[in-house]
Amino acid sequence: MADPNRDSERDSESTFDPPSGADGGDGRDRGDDPSHDASVADPKPKPGEPLGDVAAAVERRRTEGASDAFELETDAEYGQSSASSADFDELFDREDVSDLDREQLWDQLEDGSEPEDLFADEREIRTVDKREYCHQCEHFATPPNVGCTREGTDVLGMPSLGKFRVADCPVVLEDEELEQRY
């Protein structure tokens, strides 16, 4: 009777051979297959296949050694009219950027300081309980909108589930002033 822990037939037949260049990495040896060209990983695209025309154009560029630069396709390839570079130039405004002081720009970037908040000194920003203030206020926007309809007052965000970050809210500022007095 054979030992169940050791099967000599299986041990002699199973060997591990790492993939070589001839098998394409899938374990099938194609070294003797004349139809397999190792230099081409993908089969040639057929015109009837989905995106076959695009694949054919890519393959043609690859074999012709076309540059990596963007090239517009001809009308015959995709059945569309090609746009000229003049059409694209009309869509954009040209700006002269040679007036930038590169040293000053790099100094600002390397400085690592945060940009100045232009409104930091002008606005009174507070984080308040939304149920205590905003949900009881007549100026709170109707749901599903979140905001303040009072001119000059803004709901800037929701830093936590029960809090709103508000700017220039006279109700909040008045409550703060009353708390400081008493």
| 53-65 per-position pLDDT tens digit | 888 888 888 877 6
Q: What is the pTM of this model?
A: 0.34
The pLDDT profile of the chain, 182 residues, written as one tens digit per residue, is 555 555 544 444 445 555 555 455 555 555 555 555 545 555 665 666 778 788 888 888 887 764 444 454 544 455 555 556 667 777 878 777 667 778 887 887 788 766 666 555 688 999 999 999 999 999 999 888 899 999 999 999 999 999 999 999 999 999 999 999 88
For residue 26, with 0-12 CB atoms within 10 Å meaning exposed, 13-18 middle and 19 or more buried, which class applies?
Answer: exposed
Name 140's bridge partners: 148
CA angle 171, 176, 181 (to 5 degrees): 125
